[in-house]
């Protein structure tokens, strides 16, 4: 039985569109039907622009038939994380402050994707103001995990990860500060790539010179991540960290010889709390794959100051972005964003200086590891998914956690180092949920990392229990949809803005 169009990779779809084997109109209709069938059970896609998308798909089809030059994403439908501005389409940031906010223009990443021929279908759900790794907010409610809708799908790019995992859309955008591309990818069985700061410009970063926040691609396979990245990478005068790059190289990822790779691994970076079951799963994965590599050995980075360093640098970004809203009324911010703001507002110049000194010292130490290793592996998340009704994880192995985001440490310690990193699916964990492997590359070695991961993807698919798991959508739809909005929504957005055509 042939695969439905929605299950094809983005790269396969783009080739088929260019070869006139399928029509952008046909593909869009398949995606819209999939969204209508699956989204009520997971609540991943929020505001939509279906009528506009249909018009753009017809125009894309006409361009193919005329023989016009086609962009690298021509005719591919995509979802936009609800932290990214989209022209004429409701953008709420998951916050009541922006309940009826309709931007006049696309932000740079969305504009680049549309210029490459992609078609915006709708927005994907986020935590309030992107704070935390549980995708739930008082505007749209929660998003369920496609492997069990009662459980957390990660965040903050949770809606994007779920839309990809369930074949609602072939491409979705994401962003990452403490792990927001990597964590939902891990929990939903897809790929989330955190690029080097500046590879993909970020015009909405309030502190333009602070590299912890990036935007980037998500996909169901490495080829799709590379294709997506090829459309959005490259210098922009809107981002002082951005730089020139040959973006076309990402669209044609080659495989690297795994037998030449020197691989380091760490279960906790020496500082992160990790559930005992996840430790066992990770170490068993290492044993299952170590024969693939030239060498595979544990590493012990010196990241003892990482927690406090991240606290300070992250909180400074919240102060920069939300001071006016907080000063008007602290109730404008929900519990997570408010905690971040208040932490930052209480800090001193000495705190900031110490954090940046620590970050610089740890950066230099961490980069020295890559004299001996090509990539470093770790778990992406320290626990299997928990219920989305619990706002954040409060303990690991019975040990209370210091704050609501401390359970993100496996990813945020890498954020501080600025190395490119991604999460890719590597079988299932002890609870039968997707297990994400975090793969970290050398400083600004994005292409080398992606090509190594393409080889890992190919190899893992041929090793029992290491390939990408798929959600059982028939089982999902056999149960009545959950109430994803109950207790979280104060009032719905204006109905006319939710579906903008």
The full DSSP string for 412-439 is: HHHHHHT--EEEEEEEE-TTSSEEEEEE
pLDDT value at 1 more than 70: no
Domain annotation covers residue 500: no
Query: Quick one: residue 94, left, alpha or beta (phi over 0 = left, psi -120 to 50 = alpha)?
Result: left
CA 9 to chain centre: 18
Domain annotation covers residue 7: no
Instruction: Determine the angle formed by the axes of helices 349-368 and 306-328, rounding to 10 degrees.
Output: 140
Q: Which pLDDT score, from 0 to 100, does residue 494 have?
A: 85
DSSP secondary structure, 441-454, as one string: ESTT-HHHHHHHHH
pLDDT digits (tens, 9 = 90+) for 7-40: 999 999 999 999 999 999 999 999 999 999 999 9
Q: Using CA atoms, how far apart are residues 242 and 127, in angstroms rounded to an integer? A: 27
**Would you give the end-to-end CA distance of the chain in angstroms?**
34
Name the residue with tokens 């069985």: 189
CB atoms within 10 A of CB 331: 10
Q: Which pLDDT score, from 0 to 100, does residue 197 have?
A: 98
Q: Which pLDDT score, from 0 to 100, does residue 491 have?
A: 76
In 44-101, where does DSSP find H-type helix?
50-66
Q: Using CA atoms, how far apart are residues 369 and 199, in angstroms rounded to an integer? A: 22
Per the model's pLDDT, the better-predicted residue between 266 and 491 turns out to be 266
Sequence-ordered list of residues with C-beta below 8 angstroms from that of 424, at least 6 positions apart, any chain: 185, 191, 222, 436, 437, 439, 453, 456, 457
Burial class of residue 473, CB neighbours in 10 A (0-12, 13-18, 19+): middle
The answer to whether 292 and 460 are in contact (CB under 8 A) is no
pLDDT value at 500 more than 90: no
Q: Using CA atoms, how far apart are residues 160 and 174, in angstroms rounded to an integer? A: 7
Beta bridge mates, 81: 124
Q: Using CA atoms, how far apart are residues 58 and 158, in angstroms rounded to an integer? A: 30
Q: Specify the number of domains making up the chain.
A: 1
CATH number at residue 228: 3.90.1300.10
Beta bridge mates, 173: 217
Domain annotation covers residue 501: no
pLDDT digits (tens, 9 = 90+) for 176-210: 999 999 999 999 999 999 999 999 999 999 999 99
Query: What is the DSSP pairing of strand 295-298 with strand 262-265?
Result: parallel
Domain annotation covers residue 8: no
Domain annotation covers residue 410: yes
Domain annotation covers residue 10: no
Domain annotation covers residue 457: yes
pLDDT value at 380 more than 90: yes
Q: Which pLDDT score, from 0 to 100, does residue 135 have?
A: 98
Q: Using CA atoms, how far apart are residues 146 and 164, in angstroms rounded to an integer? A: 10
Mean pLDDT of 152-176: 98
Q: Given pLDDT bands bounded at 50, 70 and 90, which one contains residue 501?
A: low
Mean pLDDT of 238-257: 97
Query: What is the DSSP pairing of strand 144-145 with strand 148-152?
Result: antiparallel
Domain annotation covers residue 235: yes
Q: Which pLDDT score, from 0 to 100, does residue 370 have?
A: 98
Q: Which of 381, 398, 402, 421 is nearest to 186 (CA)?
A: 381
Sequence-ordered list of residues with C-beta below 8 angstroms from that of 364, at least 6 positions apart, any chain: none
Q: Given pLDDT bands bounded at 50, 70 and 90, which one contains residue 490?
A: confident
CA 358 to chain centre: 27
The answer to whether 155 and 135 are in contact (CB under 8 A) is yes
- Cα→Cα distances 271→103, 176, 179, 268, Å: 41, 21, 16, 6
Instruction: Provide the annotated active-site residues.
Output: 81, 156, 180
pLDDT digits (tens, 9 = 90+) for 248-294: 999 999 999 999 999 999 999 999 999 999 999 999 999 999 999 99
pLDDT digits (tens, 9 = 90+) for 331-342: 989 988 898 899
The answer to whether 204 and 436 are in contact (CB under 8 A) is no
Q: Which of 151, 164, 90, 99 is nearest to 128 (CA)?
A: 99
Which structural domain range is residue 378 located in? 15-479
pLDDT digits (tens, 9 = 90+) for 89-143: 999 999 999 999 999 999 999 999 999 999 999 999 999 999 999 999 999 999 9
Q: For the chain, what percent of residues have pLDDT higher than 70?
A: 100
Mean pLDDT of 415-437: 98
Beta bridge mates, 452: none
Mean pLDDT of 209-226: 97
Q: What is the mean pLDDT of the chain?
A: 96
């Amino acid at each position: 039985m042939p695969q439905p169009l929605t299950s094809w990779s983005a790269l396969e779809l783009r080739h088929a569109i260019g070869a006139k084997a399928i029509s952008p109109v046909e593909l869009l209709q398949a995606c819209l039907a999939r969204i209508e069938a699956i989204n009520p059970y997971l609540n991943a896609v929020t505001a939509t622009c279906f009528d506009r998308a249909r018009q753009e798909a017809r125009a894309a089809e006409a361009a193919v038939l005329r023989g016009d030059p086609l962009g690298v994403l021509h005719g591919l439908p995509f979802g936009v994380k609800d932290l990214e501005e989209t022209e004429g389409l409701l953008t709420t940031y998951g916050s009541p402050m922006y309940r009826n906010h309709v931007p006049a223009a696309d932000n740079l990443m969305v504009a680049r994707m549309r210029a490459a021929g992609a078609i915006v279908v709708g927005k994907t759900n986020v935590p309030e103001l992107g704070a935390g790794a549980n995708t739930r907010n008082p505007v749209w409610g929660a998003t369920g995990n496609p492997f069990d809708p009662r459980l957390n799908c990660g965040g903050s790019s949770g809606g994007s990860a779920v839309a990809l995992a369930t074949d609602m859309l072939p491409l979705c955008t994401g962003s990452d500060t403490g792990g927001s591309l990597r964590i939902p990818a891990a929990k939903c069985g897809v790929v989330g790539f955190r690029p080097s700061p500046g590879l993909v410009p970020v015009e909405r970063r309030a502190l333009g010179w602070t590299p912890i926040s990036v935007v980037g691609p998500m996909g169901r396979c490495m080829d799709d991540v590379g294709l997506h990245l090829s459309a959005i990478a490259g210098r922009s005068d809107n981002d002082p960290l951005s730089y020139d790059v040959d973006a076309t190289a990402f669209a044609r990822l080659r495989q690297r010889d795994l037998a030449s790779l020197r691989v380091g691994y760490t279960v906790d970076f020496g500082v992160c709390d990790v559930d005992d079951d996840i430790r066992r799963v990770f170490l068993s994965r290492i044993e299952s794959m170590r024969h693939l590599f030239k060498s595979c050995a544990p590493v012990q980075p010196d990241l003892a100051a990482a927690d406090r360093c991240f606290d300070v640098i992250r909180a400074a970004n919240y102060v920069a972005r939300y001071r006016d809203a907080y000063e008007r009324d602290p109730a404008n911010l929900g519990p997570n964003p408010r905690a971040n703001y208040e932490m930052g507002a209480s800090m001193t110049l000495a705190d900031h200086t110490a954090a940046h000194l620590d970050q610089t010292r740890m950066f230099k130490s961490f980069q020295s590891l890559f004299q001996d290793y090509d990539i470093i592996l770790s778990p992406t998340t320290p626990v299997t998914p928990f219920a989305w009704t619990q706002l954040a994880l409060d303990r690991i192995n019975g040990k209370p956690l210091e704050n609501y985001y401390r359970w993100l440490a496996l990813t945020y310690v890498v954020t501080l180092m600025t190395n490119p990193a991604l999460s890719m699916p590597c079988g299932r964990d002890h609870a039968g949920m997707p297990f994400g492997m975090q793969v970290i590359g050398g400083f600004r070695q994005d292409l080398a990392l992606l090509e190594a991961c393409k080889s890992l993807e190919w190899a893992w698919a041929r090793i029992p229990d290491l390939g990408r798991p798929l959600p059982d959508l028939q089982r999902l739809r056999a149960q009545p949809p959950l109430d994803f909005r109950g207790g979280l929504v104060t009032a719905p957005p204006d109905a006319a803005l939710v579906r903008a055509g």
